[in-house]
């Protein structure tokens, strides 16, 4: 089966869930609240997500998360 680049991107989008983002934020600080997750645009070799967060005091924080894979087929 041959995958088109968009099909591969769609598969990757399905695998990164808000629960994954929440786990990342908890590892950084339990005080961070997830506001949104969006794909980053640009010429990246791997998928990147932008996590929009808020601290308890209401300050905004943006984190970039690079998704990696060990699968040689990608």
How far apart, in whole angstroms, are the C-alpha atoms of residue 24 and residue 17? 11
Q: Is residue 39 part of a domain?
A: yes
Total number of domains constituting the chain: 1
Give domain status of residue 71, yes or no: no
Residue 73 lies in a domain: no
Yes or no: say if 56 and 32 are a contact pair by the CB < 8 Å rule: no
pLDDT at 16: 80
Is it the case that residue 63 has pLDDT exceeding 90? yes
User: Does residue 50 register a pLDDT over 50?
Assistant: yes
With a cut of 50, say whether residue 49 has pLDDT above it. Answer: yes
Residue 22 lies in a domain: yes
Provide, for the chain, the percentages of residues in helix, strand and coil under a 3-state DSSP scheme, each rounded to the nearest 5: 30, 30, 40
Q: Give the range of the structural domain holding residue 59, as residue numbers without chain letter.
A: 5-66
21 domain-assigned: yes
């Amino acid at each position: 089966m041959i995958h088109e680049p968009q099909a591969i991107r769609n598969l990757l989008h399905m695998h990164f869930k808000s629960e994954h983002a929440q786990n990342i934020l908890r590892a950084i600080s339990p005080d961070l609240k997830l506001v949104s997750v969006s794909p980053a645009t640009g010429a990246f070799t791997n998928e990147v997500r932008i996590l929009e967060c808020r601290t308890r005091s209401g300050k905004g924080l943006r984190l970039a998360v690079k998704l990696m894979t060990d699968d040689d087929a990608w």
